[in-house]
Structures are given as C-alpha cells and as structure tokens.
Structure 1
Amino acid sequence: MSQSTVHIYSRWERYADKALAGECLTKEEALSVLQADDDEVLAILQAAFRVRRHFYGKKVKLNMIINAKSGLCPEDCGYCSQSIISTAPIEKYTMLKKDVLVEGAKEALARKAGTYCIVASGRGPTPKELDEVIEAVREIKKEYRLKICACLGILNEEQARRLKEAGVDRYNHNLNTSASHYGNITTTHTYDHRVQTVEKVKEAGISPCSGCIIGMGETHEQVVEIAYELRNLDADSIPVNFLNPIPGTPLEHMKELNPRYCLKVLALFRFICPSKEIRVSGGREVNLRSLQPLALYAANSIFVGDYLTTEGQAASLDHQMIEDLGFEIEECAL
C-alpha cells in the first residue's frame, strides 16, 4: 500500500473517529468527502460503516409509503410531479378513505416494514383530511404493531397535537435543500415555513423526520449546508432522496448524479449525523442502480415498494439485497 493511499484511508478513519466522539466535521472536511476521487469511495464507505455499525449494527429499517392524496397541490415545488406547475401525467385523487389507509398497513407488514408512512399532497391538511387520517391511525394502532409516520404538509400547533394524540409516532417534513438554494426550487412557501413545522411537531412530542433531495442544481457547499442544518434541527430520521427527474416538471432535464457521488453523499450524512436514521429514499433505484447494496454501509433504512408517483423495485429484491449483504431486517422497528 502506497504512502498516499495510507494517508487517504487514515483521513476517512479520522472522520469516523470524530463522528463517534460526537464532534462535527469542519466544512473543509465535509467538502473533501464530496470532492474525493471515485477511487476512494470504498475507503469512505468503510469509515462510514464503522459509525453506522456502532449505532445500528447490521440492522436495516424498512418503511412503506401510501400516497394518500395525489396531485391537486397548489405549491410550485420544481421537483414534484404533483405540483400545480407540473404537467406530468400522474393519477390525481382526493384523500383516501379510512378503510383504504388501514388496508395499506396490512401491506406494510407483508413487506416487513416497521414504519408505515401516510403521505398526502398539498400545502397542509384540511380539517376533513386531518380527521380521515386521525381515524385511520387510531384503528391501525389498535390492530397492528407498526410505527406510523404522517406527511401532510405544513401544520399548526393544534394539528400537531391531534396527530400525537391519535398515535402518530413520526412526522415527515423535508427541508429538501439548503436555505441558500431554497428559492430556486420553491416560491410558494419558504424554507422557514418548513423549519417551523418541524419545530411544532417536536413540541407536540412527535419524532421529527426531515431530509433532503440531492441533485437539484445545488453546489457541494449547499449539500454540506443542508447536512449541517438537519444536524442542528435534530431530526431523528433523515431521508436522503436523489432526484428522479420526472418529465413534465421544471427539473426534468436535471441529470447530474452518478452512483459514486450518491454514495459519498450518504457517507457525509453518516459522518455529520452519526446517530440518526439515515434513509436511502426516492430516486434510489434510478441513481444508485447496481450500487444500491453499498448504500447500506452508510445508511440504515430504506423504503420498500413504490414511492409517491414513481415505482420502486419489488420488496422481494430489497429483502434479498439485505440478506446478500449479511444484514438483518429490523421488523417492527419501534
């Protein structure tokens, strides 16, 4: 092994040491992960795996989404096929009825998911929509051993309190991108609106879930910024999405990602948010492709099945991937 190789390897191991000691990487150190040569990806992942293994061993948390309300959204998020400015040919429907939402919980268990995510498009839930979700959550909690994550948009204090009382364990509201890049992606609400919703959720006693979308024209510096911002927000679960550029959306031509860079991003998030659930989320199959298994050396959570308006790979393939790695599905990960 050459002297330069030893130096490179030691650098990533020092980053792992800092993460395990509770120290945050400097901006320069964080940038070096994203800017590293592709030949260093395995060494970076090995160091990230040390941190992942310390907190989560070889267990993998599985999550399943139900698209509880599709399209019909007044917001102008440039990445989203459900936004008012999207021309993507997606199915559109109002909030699913309680029985359909409850039935989805059975499917989540069949896919060995420990977390069932009820996701609805829109700026925020109407009173009727909130009631529908609350009734479904109450019934699911009586019948099934599942963690429930709701994602219904911007909330106020009363809405957050009612969801907590109904039994919602976790609430997802992604920051999506750094504050400095936010105005390039969305104009109908602000970055601060998103932060405020996460804070309201925390105040209500619900576990906060907030993540990002990588590949929307942000710089390396802005990727580092959002990683720091999510660390400061103290989100328990951090979904890392990789843009799947959907035809009919403003970002349909944005194709700047490759699997090696995606792996570096996941390692970066593990170094900066070492004890948090890092979930490889939307765009996993499209952007990581044949390198999907390597993502689990940094991340400890994935979605199984389809996403909101795009298809995922079969749950059986995810189960096989985890088995082939020698990892273990953490069923009913409460």
Structure 2
Amino acid sequence: MTTSLDDLAEKALRGETPSREEALAVLAGPDELLDVVAAGARVRRHFFGRRVKLNTIINMKSGLCPEDCSYCSQRLGSSAEILKYSWITPEKAAETAGQAVRAGAKRVCLVASGRGPGDRDITRIEDTIAAVKADSPDVEVCVCLGLLADGQAERLAAAGAHAYSHNLNTSEARYSEICSTHTFADRTGTLRRAGHAGLSPCSGAILGMGESDDDIVDLAFALKELDPDSVPVNFLIPFKGTPLADTWELTPERCLRILALFRFVFPDVEVRLAGGREIHLRGLQSLALHLANSMFLGDYLTSEGQPGADDRQMIADAGFVIEGTDERTLPDARHDLVAIRRRGAGSDLPANA
C-alpha cells in the first residue's frame, strides 16, 4: 500500500475519497486488521464521537414479491419459510414503532415487498406515517417501497417521511447476475428521484454474494456519486430456498475490512451496521462499532436479529452511547442536506426492540 493508514485517515478527515489502489489495499493489503480498524475508528470518532444511532425495521408487507433478486427470501420463486402477509394497519405499525422508539430507536424504516408502490400503497404509507408521528413525533421515518414513479417521492415527503431507502446492493457490472427483473440504473434513478423530492437518500450494499474486491470498490464509488446521507452495510443472510442459500464466504475480518473501506469512502456519512452482522461478525460485532456509527435494533425484514437488550448492552460495554433524538446524526458540514419534518409486524409476537 503506497499510502499509510495514517495518511488514508487524514485524507478522510479532509473529505477526500481514497484512490482505487488505496481502497483495494484496505480490503486485501498487508496491514494488520486492528491497524485498519484503528485508522477507520479515528475517522468515525472525529465526525460522530462515541454515538450510535439506532434504527428499526417494520415490514409492512412480507413475501410474494414479483422481483427475482437472488439474495432475497421474498423473491419470485423463493421457498424460504418466511412470514407472508399483506399490509399491516397503520395502527399496528405505530404500535411497533413506539415500542422501538422507547427502546432507543431514532429512525423507523417502513418497508414493503414489491417492485414499487401503486397510488393506494402510497396512501397506506401516508396514513402510517401520520399514525407513527402521532405517537412518536420526533422519530425519523424512512420509507423503502422499491422503484418510485413520478410524483410518489413528493407525496412521501409531504406526508412527513424523512428519508427514502433503496440499496444498490452490488456493482453495476454484475448486477444482472443478481437480478434480472430490474436494472442497476432503475435503482439509481429511484434514489435520484427521492433526493430531488427532498428526501434524505439512503442506499447501501449487500456483501458476501460472490463479489470481488473490485466489485466492492466499484459499488462504494457508485454510491459515493449518489451522495447518500446514510449507507447501510448488509452481509448476506443465506436463506434456504433462495439461489444464494449455500453462499457462506464471509469472515469477521472480511466484514470489518469492508466496513473500514466504507468509512474511508463515507467519512462524514451515517454508515449503518445492518443485516447479517450477528452471523458473520459474531464475537467481533462490538469492534464494528468503531467503524459504523449506526445499526439496526431488533429484527430485520424476514429474519430475527439479536435481542434489543443485548444490542444495548453491547453498545454500553464497548464504551459507546445511544444517540438521542435531539442530537444531530450528521456533522454540521452535511446537516443542511437533511430536511427533518419530525418485530413483530404480521405476527402475534412483540417487536424485538
């Protein structure tokens, strides 16, 4: 690596993007893992201190998606034995959101399976945002409904949504290997549409799907061009019944190096520790907090996460604190890009927050 880790951290502190050679060296260079983490942690502390932002997912509608994304348990043709249900009510969503907020969540992510929403679906989400805000007025609401049509992002923003989430997931060069029913360009188009409507753009990755180091760097740089405010980093959960069911290629070290790369590329952006962290990082989850300043609390879309109490204990044991609702997530230099307007779903069990 021609650039030392100290130099790489200095570049990030100045807001400079690493070169391709530097990015590849983070993933597979000669530097010891703890040295890589320490360099990334320096950047994380500079912009976010020891705060950890908690987010929770509410799966508004689960399963039976017409898209064929290979990683997804809800995909067309999936035989994964997940919960399948139609839209939950706004009241149920608000109840679940309130429980998560009381457990420390600052952002609630309303997610529904499908290619994209129809007008009736947008109305459902508008009603759900109203119900959530009535109970938890200060919570951020992020929406994830797939590909957006003209005017839909504006409706979500007017309803009080704070952000729109749509992951790029993998590099453009191999996107067709992962999904054939829509394109990489479809995804970037939706992110731009959401941003133009005033929604905070949220977009990230799913790693561990057979991608190369070059693919990871390509993806990180493509995300950088979209200038997201939050970047979720997911690690593949290989569901039985999906094409990637037997894909187990990640190690804790690989995950940490990936997180370090994303921190160097996105020094002042919310880097979120997302799906798959429990099964791939295992005993090194708390080390990841030195790179990511945000994480999901409780369960994911179709899989169960670590109990919320364990997450909160992990954060405290590692010397971090949960970010309060009255604290800014992004540093001042980026805050003008964010315009805040202020478990259980589909089952009989309480939310895992």
CA displacement at 1:99 relative to structure 2: 1.0
CA displacement at 1:143 relative to structure 2: 3.0
CA displacement at 1:249 relative to structure 2: 0.3
Match for 1:204 among 197, 200, 204? 197
Q: Tell me, what secondary structure is at the counterpart of 2:172?
A: coil
Q: Is the 8 A contact 1:44 1:264 kept in 2?
A: yes
2:316 corresponds in structure 1 to 323
> Is residue 42 of structure 2 the alignment partner of residue 60 of structure 1?
no
Match for 1:221 among 214, 232, 237? 214
5+ residue gaps in structure 2?
Answer: 329-353
5+ residue gaps in structure 1?
Answer: 1-6
CA displacement at 1:91 relative to structure 2: 1.3
Q: Tell me, what secondary structure is at the counterpart of 1:307?
A: coil
Partner amino acid, structure 2, of 1:229: A
CA distance in 1, matches of 2:236, 2:188: 21
CA distance in 2, matches of 1:120, 1:284: 22
CA displacement at 1:49 relative to structure 2: 0.8
CA distance in 2, matches of 1:110, 1:21: 37
1:48 corresponds in structure 2 to 40
Q: Tell me, what secondary structure is at the counterpart of 1:256?
A: coil
1:3 corresponds in structure 2 to none
CA displacement at 1:142 relative to structure 2: 3.1
CA distance in 2, matches of 1:24, 1:124: 33
* Aligned pairs, number: 326
CA distance in 2, matches of 1:139, 1:103: 9
2:163 corresponds in structure 1 to 170
CA distance in 2, matches of 1:189, 1:58: 39
CA distance in 1, matches of 2:20, 2:151: 38
1:125 corresponds in structure 2 to 117
Bigger proportion of residues as helix: 1
> Is residue 76 of structure 2 the alignment partner of residue 84 of structure 1?
yes
CA displacement at 1:318 relative to structure 2: 0.8
Q: Is the 8 A contact 2:65 2:75 kept in 1?
A: yes
CA distance in 2, matches of 1:61, 1:295: 14
Q: Is the 8 A contact 1:239 1:280 kept in 2?
A: yes
2:250 corresponds in structure 1 to 257
Q: Is the 8 A contact 2:191 2:201 kept in 1?
A: yes
Q: Is the 8 A contact 2:70 2:179 kept in 1?
A: yes
CA displacement at 1:72 relative to structure 2: 1.4
Match for 1:100 among 92, 106, 112? 92
Which structure 2 residues correspond to residues 1-334 of structure 1 after superposition, within 5 A? 11-37=4-30, 40-144=32-136, 145-332=138-325
Partner amino acid, structure 1, of 2:62: S
1:144-170 CA deviation, whole Å, 9 max, x = no partner?
120001101111231100000000001
- Aligned-residue RMSD, C-alpha: 1.3
* % identity of equivalent residues: 49
CA displacement at 1:89 relative to structure 2: 1.0
Q: Is the 8 A contact 1:157 1:204 kept in 2?
A: no
CA distance in 1, matches of 2:150, 2:48: 32
CA distance in 2, matches of 1:147, 1:77: 28
Partner amino acid, structure 1, of 2:75: S
Partner amino acid, structure 2, of 1:86: S
CA displacement at 1:175 relative to structure 2: 0.4
Q: Is the 8 A contact 2:91 2:131 kept in 1?
A: no
Q: Is the 8 A contact 1:209 1:238 kept in 2?
A: yes
CA distance in 2, matches of 1:245, 1:208: 27
CA distance in 2, matches of 1:45, 1:236: 22
How does the TM-score come out when normalised to structure 1?
0.95
CA displacement at 1:28 relative to structure 2: 0.7
Q: Is the 8 A contact 2:315 2:322 kept in 1?
A: yes
CA distance in 2, matches of 1:123, 1:295: 32
Partner amino acid, structure 2, of 1:23: E
Q: Tell me, what secondary structure is at the counterpart of 2:164?
A: strand
CA distance in 1, matches of 2:88, 2:291: 35
Q: Is the 8 A contact 2:98 2:135 kept in 1?
A: no
CA distance in 2, matches of 1:179, 1:264: 21
Q: Tell me, what secondary structure is at the counterpart of 1:312?
A: coil
Q: Is the 8 A contact 1:242 1:284 kept in 2?
A: yes
CA displacement at 1:224 relative to structure 2: 0.5
CA distance in 2, matches of 1:269, 1:188: 28
